[in-house]
Structure 1
């Protein structure tokens, strides 16, 4: 949208959208959080696992760990794919209604499980399926509703609520650790139904995206939605809608030569779209590849391996650090930008992982070594959650083109790439970790170095740029390192041009 005055106050509705429009992502974080802690909970392992005479403890087999973690990621990917047509046809708000219903069904399947690990996994897949829908809808919805100077903060809330959900789950597992019955783990499963319940209560108050309404030729509704979201008078709302419509004309003109191509194919065959796909997909792949899937799912098991005993308490502390990191990152995103934060962050993340790998190289564990590993892990987690965690989702919301069906598909490709990378990691990591122990951190450290190279070469600076300005710069093929200083024309003069001025459109292209 066009530039807004950063000092102007916004109505309560934009904060409702910022918070409750992202709350569905907490369900995915909740399930991921309790699963990571649950693999170290004796009551759960006794119910579904086996007794390990070497460790003299109940545990899940490597196969059970891989299936329990990996099948959830399969559910996320399926949810992303199915969420795309929902997002296109039903709109952002109605898709969140569907997401809440699916999440509720998944919780019911998990909670009613008796002795069948297979039923438990089915429920987990359904909950993660709902998480995949949320991963498709929330970045698009927040990116389209946010004023440009709040977009980094609002899109970063997706990742922040992942941490909030994970913290609540880890805390419940920790508080129930001494419950002798199965309710030690059933309590946390049942508790997660509160998250879709918040969705049911808040969704009636959320407006639909003005961008989606315009694409459905519902211009009056789009103006009304924009006025509510940004507290604009009629003239200002009309001016912003004209700016969006002008960009739609540019996008439609560009697509005239692609009529025979499906939108999915256009993400790869059109040079401009391919560049944007590469950035969005690459950001999500490197977000996962640097180690978050390992830390989020296996940090309790990893800490036990290096001799740390208070793993359930540490799971709670790690998520507190994650929440603080996300709050820090949300405020940094719109001040320091994307590119300037991700580059040094990759270097620090790589240094932390390489240090962890070096600390765990000795075959004998000690209390000082385990404490040093915990300190480096906490530093890694804070750095990740204040940088790559929220900013990868900000990039996913900003880079795909506005006003076309390609937008939802590009977001889906980015999200699927993230969870596809995570799927590989969570399936392989238990076996790799069993074989080489803490040296697995060397792999993630090396991937952080590659991530820094990717950011330097491909990721542009989009801080405080409207979605229309970002579209203009990509169509002008501005190099990534010049986005920050490029002078756009759309925001300065777009409101004074007629939408159907063919000569002006041809000149911009």
Structure 2
């Protein structure tokens, strides 16, 4: 591929480690994020669409207009989030038991059913909601499995960039949804809203095909005792790396998995809250819960309604501009997330997001709402919010969740984190209409004060809780957490065990550890197992 050749010629760390198969696998898997982006963003456009309100809403005799009542908006926007939360619980079991690829297939099948229910709804708002809930189950699986898969197939130097492709494609899906809504908004028939629903069939269909193409996660295969298959998968993903280094990497990853099982005895959900794993679970759960609390959930779901409330014209076109800005910002994260690191990026962006949300609250709450200058100032603050959030937390949340858990508990930790995150998301979506709308709290744009305060709390959380995890293999992170390294010392702490060697091997070099005889943390590292030995280990894992 020409692009990978050009990247290698740049002589950067990214260019050194990327290759066509690895790039193809990452991008194909990230398409699932586009499906999530479509589902997440088309709904806010429909809520403000006149034809949709007429076909699915109720007539208000006071305003002499069709509308979707606030209570309906709350249920229609919030209940599917409950479906996503349930989907994350399903994902933990499927991903651990059957692997990442079979989880893709399962998610795609559920999505197709949910979209079909929505597409066949002619005038029933509640049928649409049911279809969204079913489709949301697949979204829960996707947001759990895709970042894990991308984090497991990528070397340490590329993990941030590759997991960020999930967020980039999510934004692309959102951009597609808002463009279609904008283009169809003025129609006076059902196609004003039906096209954006039907087009959601495309990505799940591609996901089904992709299940036959994508290699299974080598780390999952190793955890299941299928070392030979893992070696073949890594040879494909690490094209150009000597076979001896790949085999050595498989041995060490397998030993790291066994070490974690030996140290923690159990690999159930309760173990996520014991010993050093408690810290890892709190980190993953923290980023998932804090992101929607910083206004992300509200802005995504009610953006069109917010624009209308503060009197901004051409709200659909404005949303398109916002998504272009977010995609440009997220493109920067492909480099910044690994070069600058997660910790400074998330701290700085949380501070800036807090400031922009306070600006929205102040301008809409205490300034002259008929002033064009105030409207432009509010719009500028909203644009700043979206830009900063996209360059910081939007992508780093998934990167952090992919790398914080240990291999033996990755699915379970991710399940806990995403479930808690979507519960917070659900609460915000249910409460937001009542906080904003007339007849209730009527905060309108002043709701920014609430989310701005939460963003400041998130910045402090990053400062005192979140360690810098970039540039380390997943196995080296295991060692750092086992050593209980302080958040302030995490970045520069030197490790000398299995994890450090895996990090070196992922970069195509070796620290010289003899895998045939070296004893690390009391566990002997053995050569690659024979097929008979692999069968014995698989049977032991099933017991």
Fold in common (TM above 0.5):
yes
SS at match of 2:493: coil
1:25 has 2:45 as partner: no
- Matched with 2:400 is 395
User: Where does 1:201-220 land on structure 2 (aligned, <5 Å)?
Assistant: 201-220=209-228
1:360 has 2:364 as partner: yes
1:459 has 2:459 as partner: no
- Matched with 2:303 is 299
CA distance in 1: counterparts of 2:237 and 2:474, whole angstroms: 16
Q: Gapped runs of 5+ residues in structure 2? A: 1-11, 503-511, 526-543
2:386 pairs with one of 376, 381, 384: 381
CA distance in 1: counterparts of 2:65 and 2:402, whole angstroms: 45
By how many angstroms is 1:365 displaced?
Answer: 1.9
* CA contact 1:242–1:499 (8 Å) conserved in 2: no
CA distance in 1: counterparts of 2:185 and 2:25, whole angstroms: 36
- Matched with 2:475 is 468
* CA contact 1:288–1:421 (8 Å) conserved in 2: yes
1:63 pairs with one of 57, 71, 81: 71
User: Where does 1:76-95 land on structure 2 (aligned, <5 Å)?
Assistant: 76-95=84-103
SS at match of 2:31: coil
What TM-score, normalized to structure 1?
Answer: 0.94
| CA offsets 1:191-234 (integer angstroms, 9 cap, x no match) | 11111122133332210000111111111100000111111231
CA distance in 2: counterparts of 1:492 and 1:452, whole angstroms: 30
- Matched with 2:48 is 40
CA distance in 2: counterparts of 1:499 and 1:84, whole angstroms: 34
By how many angstroms is 1:364 displaced?
Answer: 4.9
Q: Gapped runs of 5+ residues in structure 1? A: none
1:316 has 2:324 as partner: no
SS at match of 2:522: helix
1:266 pairs with one of 264, 268, 271: 271
CA distance in 2: counterparts of 1:318 and 1:263, whole angstroms: 42
1:415 pairs with one of 394, 415, 418: 418
CA distance in 1: counterparts of 2:501 and 2:203, whole angstroms: 44
Q: Residue 368 and residue 208 in structure 1: after superposition, are their counterparts in 2 closer, same or farther (change >3 A)?
A: same
1:135 pairs with one of 112, 137, 143: 143
Q: Which stretches of structure 1, 4 residues or more, deviate above 3 A after TM superposition?
A: 4-7, 51-57, 491-495, 497-504
By how many angstroms is 1:496 displaced?
Answer: 2.1
| CA offsets 1:260-284 (integer angstroms, 9 cap, x no match) | xx6111111x120100011110011
| CA offsets 1:343-400 (integer angstroms, 9 cap, x no match) | 1111100000001100011375223222211111011001001100000110000000
| CA offsets 1:431-478 (integer angstroms, 9 cap, x no match) | 001222111100000001100110011101111111111111000000
- State how many pairs are aligned: 498
SS at match of 1:484: coil
Q: Which moved more, 1:103-112 or 1:192-201?
A: 192-201
Q: Residue 130 and residue 303 in structure 1: after superposition, are their counterparts in 2 closer, same or farther (change >3 A)?
A: same
By how many angstroms is 1:15 displaced?
Answer: 1.0
CA distance in 2: counterparts of 1:500 and 1:425, whole angstroms: 55
CA distance in 2: counterparts of 1:452 and 1:136, whole angstroms: 24
2:158 pairs with one of 150, 154, 162: 150
* CA contact 1:249–1:499 (8 Å) conserved in 2: no
What TM-score, normalized to structure 2?
Answer: 0.88
Q: Residue 54 and residue 378 in structure 1: after superposition, are their counterparts in 2 closer, same or farther (change >3 A)?
A: farther
CA RMSD of aligned residues (A): 1.9
| CA offsets 1:145-172 (integer angstroms, 9 cap, x no match) | 0111110011112222211111101111
CA distance in 2: counterparts of 1:407 and 1:469, whole angstroms: 15
1:102 has 2:106 as partner: no
User: Where does 1:103-252 land on structure 2 (aligned, <5 Å)?
Assistant: 103-231=111-239, 232-252=241-261
